[in-house]
Amino acid sequence: MGSADQMNRTAALQLIRLSFKEDTAQRDVTSRAVIPANARIRARIVAKAPGIAAGVRVAALAFTTFDPSLRCRLHARSGARFSPGTTILTIKGRARSIFAAERTSLNLLGHLSGIATLTRAFAERTRGTRAVILDTRKTLPGLRALEKEAVRAGGGKSHRTNLAEAVLIKTNHLRAKGRGRRAKGNTLIEIAINEAKRVRPRRFVEVEVVNLREFAAALRARPDAILLDNWSLRDIRKAVALRPPSPFALHPSPLLEVSGGVTLANVRAIARTGVDHISIGRLTHSAPAIDLSLEVMGSQ
């Protein structure tokens, strides 16, 4: 198992155990009242709406974490498209255990598949352009690793995973430093970029700019990427035109990222300007969950 897979499994186990505690899953009074302790069933998780699968292994892990004797079979791979009525996962074993873990499994599977589904919609609208759809750090506490994995299942890619992974100099950093000041002919943006390169020489360095004047200053300092947040299409096109030509057509420098106000209605127009990255916070913080349910198929 790779390090990323292990990290995702660890994150999933922590969430699953917390959810069981929150749900008092070990004391399901309904099942204990009406279901015999030795009752065994076959059940399935079925889609009630179309979508893109993500978190199927996590959903199965919820059942086997609660009761290792349960047996799960995955019917949808990560990133696969499904339609209403599709069986995503089947479970066999103790009825009480299946019912106790049901809600945790459905919550995670529905949420993660919702993220993958929304990401796929954005990715499909940018097909044929150079633009890549990125997630952000606007994730739910404790769910970041799984939510970013769901974005990848939908066809997107991950921006920095945490604050230690890359340097991203944003407007507030520059305000705190004193935006607009100059030192020895350099703008504050140039100073900040050069400091970041010096202090963190092996880190990816990106800077946010608010207008074309700041964009020009950032170009002089040569960061790895420049973030255009809430820019008009007209100014985005101007920035793309100002970027120096690169001998490496697939890897221009600096990379240009657009964020803010990106919707399914305008994402293709943004992508066609020639930017490299489009980051979208709503992929993780506002994606609608996919409607799923658990159905008992019969006794074992």
Give the pLDDT confidence of 61-84 residue by residue, as tens digits. Answer: 999 999 999 999 999 999 999 999
The pLDDT mean for the chain works out to 93
Q: Which of 150-154, 188-192, 250-254 has the lowest mean pLDDT?
A: 250-254
What per-residue confidence (pLDDT) applies to 181?
A: 61
Active site residue 177: no
Per-residue pLDDT of 88-142, as tens digits, reads 999 999 999 999 999 999 999 999 999 999 999 999 999 999 999 999 999 999 9
Query: Averaged over 254-266, what is the pLDDT?
Result: 97
* Residue of 21, 73, 127, 170 with catalytic role: 170
Overall CATH class of domain 123-285:
alpha beta
Share of the chain above pLDDT 90, in %: 87
* Residue of 9, 17, 92, 103 with catalytic role: 103
Confidence of residue 9 (pLDDT cuts 50, 70, 90): confident
* Residue of 102, 190, 208, 257 with catalytic role: 208
Active site residue 238: no
The CATH T-level fold of domain 3-122+287-299 is Aldehyde Oxidoreductase; domain 3 (3.90.1170)
Write out the two tokens for 30. Answer: 């309904």
Confidence of residue 178 (pLDDT cuts 50, 70, 90): confident
What per-residue confidence (pLDDT) applies to 136?
A: 97
Share of the chain above pLDDT 70, in %: 94
Active site residue 208: yes
pTM: 0.93
DSSP output for 167-224: EEE-HHHHHHHTTT-EETTEEHHHHHHHHHHHHSTTS-EEEEESSHHHHHHHHHH--S
Query: Averaged over 162-191, what is the pLDDT?
Result: 84
* Residue of 138, 203, 222, 282 with catalytic role: 138
pLDDT at 250 over 80: no
Cα→Cα distances 265→106, 125, 262, 283, 284, Å: 30, 9, 8, 15, 18
CA distance linking residue 7 with residue 146, whole number of Å: 9
pLDDT at 182 over 70: no
Confidence of residue 8 (pLDDT cuts 50, 70, 90): confident
Per-residue pLDDT of 266-288, as tens digits, reads 999 999 999 999 999 999 999 99
Residue intervals in the chain for CATH 3.90.1170.20 = 3-122+287-299
The 3-state DSSP class for residue 277 equals: strand
* Residue of 23, 124, 195, 229 with catalytic role: 229
What letter would DSSP give residue 29? H
